[in-house]
Structure 1
């Protein structure tokens, strides 16, 4: 029997909520469901940081929730965000026509780690994958699944 019963949300800590909303909502097309300031004793207990104040936004895409948190107090540090660092994470999104999307987003200033890479073997054989960075350097992955034969 599974200990967990489902997926609730993924969360990223960001440095500037307005800038992140421009990226995730306006550029990537996610739907903003909530944007609020939080400061309450239970928030401090959950995070383990006394006096926590934060701005939290919830965005939805394809039935999944992405939570963005900008801590007002305490102000966090900016560690190296390399995908090889233990504890670093990323989210992958399915997309259509990855080469075209990369050209369009590059023209709008989005930083990609490479050109779309064709997958030569495995379950995604014939598909394409690329890593990109959000405004805080958080890694996202775009996946174009292989065309059905």
Structure 2
């Protein structure tokens, strides 16, 4: 069975904000943006009464699907720590981590820990930081490759 990655789906609180952030901060292009058929979304997700608008975006080989649900009314806010089961993050290579962190702050992204230098593995010598969007809890990692 041949398998390739199609996209990464991220549920967000404010589609306008997140779409603009992925465009301006991370260089994504919006391929489409539209509401989805509520009956089909409810069947696929197993969530009765689900209503969602989706922005489908691409940067090179990476595709993200930003989903903003307006129903059902009992949606929950899920903000796991990096160590908690189900926690996900998306990593981005950047040329200058300090500049990228400064630009990310303009989007209200907050550092979850501190900037660190990777001491082992394939990113050894790289500088990294985890950021969280306080609007919806999305976690993003910035990676400045080793010199």
Q: TM-score range by the shorter chain?
A: 0.7 to 0.9
Verify: 1:59 aligned to 2:57, yes or no. yes
Q: How far has the Cα of 1:122 moved from its partner?
A: 2.7
Residue in 2 that maps onto 1:139: 139
Aligned to 2:24: 26
- The answer as to whether partners of 1:39 and 1:51 remain within 8 angstroms in 2 is no
Aligned to 2:12: 14
In structure 2, the partner of 1:117 is: 116
Over 3 Å counting, the alpha-carbon distance change for 1:30 and 1:140 in structure 2 is same
TM-score (norm 1): 0.85
Equivalents in 2 of 1:101, 1:69: separation in Å? 25
Separation (CA, whole Å) in 1 of partners of 2:66 and 2:14: 10
The range that moved more, 43-52 or 87-96, is 43-52
| Structure 2 unaligned regions, length at least 5 | none
CA distance in 2, matches of 1:107, 1:15: 18
CA offsets, 1:49-107, max 9 Å, x none? 23321101111112111111111221411123322221111111111111222233335
Structure 1, unpaired ranges of 5+:
none
Q: Distance in 2 between matches of 1:117 and 1:81?
A: 21
Determine helix, strand or coil for the equivalent of 2:3: coil
When normalised by structure 2's length, the TM-score is 0.86
Question: CA offsets, 1:24-48, max 9 Å, x none?
Answer: 2233321111110112432221111
- Between stretches 31-40 and 107-116, larger displacement belongs to 107-116
Give 1:103's aligned residue: 102
- Structure 1 runs of 4+ aligned residues shifted over 3 Å read none
CA RMSD of aligned residues (A): 1.9
